[in-house]
């Protein structure tokens, strides 16, 4: 079953905004939730992402007042905790998180997780882009650290 509904954490949203690949998210997904804590994390900085965020009409901001105890036990950041708690309550949503501990937490709790690099693979599989290589370079240029091994794995998964 293809992923069509997502909850996005701050770092994937920031690098997608900074890398000028924002248009991919609403093309890939029908419903995009962003917890209020993630919005706070992004807007407290005075950078490209915080300036672009108010112009994005396709995100749905959601208040998350309670962190699930099983997520809280992982001692993650505010945004990751809100994203994963919301995903735990809404199993039809995937969590877009890059933080390694957050991804492990999501996987341990049975939540579907996807990283920013995985968005490019989805975009290629759905015919929105012809190659993930330019997108990967744009993510790196925007400040996302991707090891060479991970880049090679992403390219392999994308058939490149």
pLDDT, tens digit (0-9, with 9 covering 90-100), for 57-104? 899 999 998 999 999 999 999 999 999 999 999 989 999 999 999 999
Please write the tens of the pLDDT for every residue from 138-154. Answer: 999 998 888 999 999 99
Backbone angles phi, psi at 27, to 5 degrees: -80, -30
The residue behind tokens 């000028």 is: 20
Tell me the CATH number at 136.
Answer: 3.40.50.1010
Sheet containing 113-114, strands listed edge to edge, beginning at the edge strand earlier in sequence: 60-62, 31-35, 5-8, 94-96, 113-114
Residues spanned by the domain of 137: 5-157
* CA atoms of 58 and 26, how far apart (whole Å): 7
pTM for the structure as a whole: 0.90
Tally of domains in the chain: 1
């Amino acid at each position: 079953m293809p992923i069509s509904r997502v909850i996005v954490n701050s770092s994937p949203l920031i690098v997608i905004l900074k890398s000028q690949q924002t248009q991919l998210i609403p093309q890939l997904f029908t419903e995009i939730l962003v917890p209020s804590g993630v919005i706070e994390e992004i807007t407290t900085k005075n950078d490209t992402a915080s300036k672009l965020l108010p112009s994005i009409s396709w995100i749905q901001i959601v208040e998350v007042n309670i962190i699930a105890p099983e997520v809280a036990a992982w001692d993650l950041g505010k945004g990751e905790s809100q994203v994963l708690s919301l995903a735990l309550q809404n199993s039809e949503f995937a969590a877009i998180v890059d933080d390694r501990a957050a991804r492990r937490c999501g996987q341990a709790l049975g939540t579907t997780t996807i990283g920013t690099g995985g968005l490019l693979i989805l975009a290629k599989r759905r015919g929105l882009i012809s190659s993930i290589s330019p997108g990967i370079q744009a993510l790196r240029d925007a400040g996302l650290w991707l090891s060479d091994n991970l880049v090679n794995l992403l390219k392999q998964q994308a058939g490149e």
